Amino acid sequence: MRKKLLSLLFYFIMFFCFLLQCTLFKRLNFGGISPNLLIITTTSIGFMRGEKQGILAGFVSGLFIDIFFGDVIGLYALLYMYIGFLNGKFSRIFYPEDIKLPLALITLSDLSYGMVCYIILFLLRGRLNFPYFFIHIILPETVYTIVMSIILYPILLYFYKQLNVEENRSETDFV
Q: Rounded to 5 degrees, what are φ and ψ at 33?
A: -110, 130
pLDDT 10s digits, 129-138: 899 999 999 9
Contact assessment for residue 162 and residue 6, using Cβ atoms and an 8 Å cutoff: yes
Sign of CA dihedral 59, 61, 146, 53: negative
Least confident of 26-30, 116-120, 144-148, 167-171: 167-171
pLDDT of residue 170: 58
Higher pLDDT, 167 or 137: 137
Rg over alpha carbons for the chain, rounded to the nearest Å, is 17
User: Is 174's pLDDT higher than 70?
Assistant: no
Report the share of the chain in percent with pLDDT over 70. 92
Report the share of the chain in percent with pLDDT over 90. 69
- Mean pLDDT (whole number) for 46-50: 92
Long-range CB pairs of 50-54 (<8 Å, 24+ gap) are 50/88, 50/91, 51/84, 51/85, 51/88, 51/89, 51/91, 52/88, 53/84, 53/88, 54/83, 54/84, 54/85, 54/86, 54/87, 54/88, 54/91
pLDDT 10s digits, 51-104: 999 999 999 999 999 999 988 899 999 999 999 999 999 999 988 888 999 999
Higher pLDDT, 55 or 32: 55
Rounded mean pLDDT of the chain? 89
pTM for the complete prediction? Answer: 0.90
Query: 103 burial class (0-12, 13-18, 19+ CB within 10 angstroms)?
Result: middle
Q: CA 141, CA 19: separation in Å to the nearest integer?
A: 18
